[in-house]
Chain A
């Protein structure tokens, strides 16, 4: 096991998958997310946040528009709450049916440092593809994602076809990640899960671009508008790297309060962690946590 960035690897993700169909499906979903999704064209994807009335994140997902239907891939941990909000929030006279697509559709995230050669095996020209635009190929949908360390392609695939996609990936020399390797990669990439984001404000998570201040009322809108007018947050999501182990939980920082670590992994004496740090007047590049030095980098949504 190494702490290197993902190279030619893929991960079959265990997300909650919800299919929303009917003429009002995008409207119903738009009313409960902080991100404007009403202007999404067909065959597009967009990340979206679900917040509570205090403006704090309660779920995080990706919306896909597919031929008049909407596919929502959100966190497995919060699927009950998100689906209940969708069901309860659909008016009796709206044309909207909410279906459970867990175990029917899977999202496979593929990482590559030489995507031009690798992804052409799927008939996809990665470099000319637009990010977040869905490319239909047979029964699969491909979407190029923004990633700061390497190229990433997501494939939406029916459960019946997962094994055939795995065979193709294996033929192209991609290696399947187990959940531990995925955890390492996503921490290195600064990719938060709902465990990192839950209960935080979007702006604190560096996800301010997922808040549409011009879309009108939605849960948490008043708080988000106040933060926008105030212009800053007290805390910020960050990545830590150091040579000492760092447990998940709250820790004290020498001279400047505390830090809340939400994800952490240590291998070969190097620790990578994701955390929420309380910013001082001038954020430092190195912070001392429980007496040990860690380099700190503030993160924002790509």
Chain B
């Protein structure tokens, strides 16, 4: 049976997440870059912005274009041509972020400014 098995061995789930109504701010450059990446899939796909542990400062941003998963657990923000989803579990960390897109000869890319962050890593991908 083992130490983690057996009948009656159920444990409480650790759930301690604050959920807030999310507001996101995109620059025109960011919307333009996303529109380009969507490449005609705006009807069926959405942008999901999320946060996960990692990086030098504690948390990392992640942005994914995926097939619309529906609203289960997500907050949907309509930014015109397409929808952006933020999961409830990330809402307090991502509420109020400003998303910009910068093109430079050294690569460029999306840049996120987070008013909830006390600090951020030099690379801009990690915050805490």
Contacts and interface: CB of A to CB of B under 8 A. Distances in A.
B58 A84 contact: no
B53 A90 contact: yes
Given A92-B87, A217-B54, A217-B55, A156 B16 contact: no
A156 B3 contact: yes
A257 to B, nearest CB: 31
A75 interface: no
A158 B54 CA distance: 32
B35 interface: no
B13 interface: yes
B105 interface: no
B19 interface: no
B12 interface: yes
Contact of A88 (B9, B17, B48): B17
A141 B1 CA distance: 12
Nearest to A17: B11
Interface residues of B, number: 35
A293 interface: no
Interface in A135-149: 136, 139-141
A18 B90 CA distance: 22
B52 A139 contact: no
B53 A100 contact: no
B59 A87 contact: no
A71 B9 CA distance: 15
Contacts of A88: 17, 51, 53, 59, 89, 93
A139 B73 contact: no
A28 B53 contact: yes
A89 B53 contact: yes
B17 A105 contact: no
A37 B14 CA distance: 22
B119 interface: yes
B50 A86 contact: no
Contacts of A220: 56
Given A87-B15, A88-B17, A99-B11, A219 B3 contact: no
Given A71-B4, A158-B6, 19 more contacts: A19-B4, A31-B54, A52-B58, A53-B58, A53-B119, A67-B4, A84-B16, A85-B58, A87-B17, A88-B51, A88-B89, A89-B52, A89-B54, A92-B74, A98-B14, A99-B13, A139-B3, A156-B3, A157-B3
21 contacts: A28-B53, A31-B54, A53-B57, A71-B4, A87-B16, A88-B53, A89-B53, A89-B59, A91-B62, A93-B50, A97-B13, A98-B13, A98-B14, A99-B14, A105-B3, A139-B3, A158-B6, A217-B54, A217-B55, A219-B57, A222-B56
8 pairs of A and B residues whose beta carbons are closest in the complex: A89-B53, A92-B87, A91-B52, A99-B11, A31-B54, A98-B14, A31-B53, A100-B12
